[in-house]
């Protein structure tokens, strides 16, 4: 598999206070909170696999068109399940 590198192209003043590891930690926390509070319980495992920052580069490299998609149901503020969060798989 070819080597993949990620380069920071822009850093706003609001994100400058975080180092890259801190930013990744914040992203993981946000994804976990979203999964726990918004994603329908039966779809959480699928969402977790799709949103996993540890495997995203490898999964993108394996996609010929460079696009990833994942369909999960969401809960609204009242806990009612809504439709898929993205285009159909």
pLDDT tens, 14-45?
444 444 555 556 788 888 888 988 888 999 99
CA distance 72 to 39: 7
For the entire predicted model, the pTM comes to 0.60
Q: According to the model, what pLDDT value does residue 8 have?
A: 57
Token pair in block for residue 79: 């806990």
Least confident of 49-53, 58-62, 76-80: 76-80
List the helix and strand counts (H, then E) for the chain: 3, 2
| Cα–Cα–Cα angle for 9, 14, 18, rounded to 5 degrees | 75
Q: According to the model, what pLDDT value does residue 45 have?
A: 93
CA distance 7 to 82: 36
Q: Is residue 20 within 8 Å of residue 8, measured between CB atoms?
A: yes
């Amino acid at each position: 598999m070819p080597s993949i590198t990620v380069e920071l192209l822009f850093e706003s003043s609001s994100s400058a206070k975080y180092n890259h590891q801190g930013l990744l930690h914040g992203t993981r926390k946000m994804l976990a909170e979203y999964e726990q509070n918004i994603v329908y319980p039966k779809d959480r495992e699928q969402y977790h696999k799709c949103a996993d920052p540890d495997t995203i580069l490898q999964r993108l490299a394996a996609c010929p068109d460079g696009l990833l998609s994942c369909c999960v149901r969401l809960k609204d503020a009242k806990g009612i399940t809504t439709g898929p969060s993205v285009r159909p798989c």
